[in-house]
């Protein structure tokens, strides 16, 4: 049976985005003649790749290749409706208020000619709970990086100054971001004379379950001492550069001095 499809007017676009460290390009047909803006392009990308980031978008020529059809509904409000009408969120348009019904302050259609104070209080608390839920969802939003806070959505909102403002003005391209390492990999977990301090030892054991680091004995004749010194001398000969070997403040020289 033949079926007629309604005529649509719109524009073709190509949207480039980054999702979970990979770049994708999607061809889109938008059923609107108005030019696409970045927030709308981001919304289209999020609908297919949640948590993605739009790099660029541009209008393209008409093509016979498969494209993604985007039909955006007008999520308007009661401001667009005339007297005696309400905005139906299911059909995305204004409809006449049925007889024996009234519209609540939040736009919900309720039975009865008018609403009382109790209903107004219930609407207030339900809307407040919804706002709190949305705020929590926004806080827990993650792009898939697995880090807390998220490197994409965990940035503080508000006025930025100095280096943070300059960084936000940089082009929106994917950048490798490295989180702060554990204490045993940083200066805070190391002794100035070489080796790990107590904080670094506990940090290492947390990151490596089952490990049990022990402070090596420096008594002469101890097998662990002889083994350690032999390994360190071998490292100095094979794995370090001449510059590191000559540097008295290098970690390997500090360790050897502590044992001799």
pLDDT of residue 199: 83
Q: What is the pLDDT along the chain (260 residues), one digit of tens a residue?
A: 555 656 677 889 999 999 888 889 999 998 888 888 888 899 888 888 888 999 999 998 888 888 888 876 555 555 667 788 877 766 667 888 888 887 776 667 777 766 555 555 454 545 555 566 667 666 666 666 666 666 666 665 555 555 555 544 544 444 444 445 677 677 777 777 667 788 887 887 888 777 766 666 666 777 777 777 777 767 666 656 778 777 888 877 777 776 66
CA distance 126 to 133: 10
CA distance 40 to 11: 14
What's the longest Cα–Cα distance across the chain?
99
Q: What is the chain written as a DSSP string? A: ---PPPP---EEEEEEEEETTEEEEEEEEES-SSPP-HHHHHHHHHHHSTT-EEEEEEEE---SS--EEE-------GGGS-TTEEEETTTTEEEEPPTTEEE-TTS-EEESSS--HHHHHHHHHHHHHHHHHHHHHHHT---S---SS-TTT-SPPS---THHHHHHTS------------GGGSGGGB-TTSSB-HHHHHHHHHHSTT----PPP--TT-HHHHHHHHHHHHHHHHTS-HHHHH-TTSHHHHHHHHH-
Q: Could you tell me the pTM of the whole model?
A: 0.31
């Amino acid at each position: 049976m033949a079926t007629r499809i309604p005529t649509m007017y719109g524009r073709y676009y190509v949207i480039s985005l980054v999702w979970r460290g990979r770049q994708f390009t999607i061809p889109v047909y938008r059923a609107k003649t108005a030019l696409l803006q970045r927030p709308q392009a981001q919304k289209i990308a999020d609908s297919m790749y949640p948590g993605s980031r739009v790099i660029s978008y541009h209008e393209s020529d008409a093509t016979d290749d498969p494209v993604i059809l985007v039909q955006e509904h007008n999520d308007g409000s009661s401001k667009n409706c005339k007297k005696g009408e309400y905005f139906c969120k299911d059909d995305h348009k204004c409809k006449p208020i049925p007889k024996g019904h009234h519209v609540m302050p939040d736009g919900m259609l309720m039975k009865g000619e008018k609403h009382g104070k109790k209903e107004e209080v219930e609407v207030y608390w339900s809307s407040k709970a919804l706002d709190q839920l949305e705020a929590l969802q926004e806080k827990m939003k993650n792009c898939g990086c697995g880090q807390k806070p998220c490197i994409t959505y965990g940035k503080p909102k508000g006025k930025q100054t100095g280096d943070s403002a300059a960084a936000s003005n940089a082009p929106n391209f994917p950048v490798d971001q490295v989180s702060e390492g554990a204490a045993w990999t940083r200066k805070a977990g190391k002794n100035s004379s070489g080796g790990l301090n107590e904080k670094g030892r506990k940090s290492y054991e947390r990151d490596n379950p089952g490990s049990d680091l022990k402070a090596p004995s420096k008594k002469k004749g101890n097998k662990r001492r002889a083994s350690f010194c032999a390994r360190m001398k071998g490292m100095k000969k094979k794995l370090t550069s001449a510059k590191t070997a000559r540097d008295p403040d290098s970690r390997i020289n500090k360790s050897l001095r502590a044992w001799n």
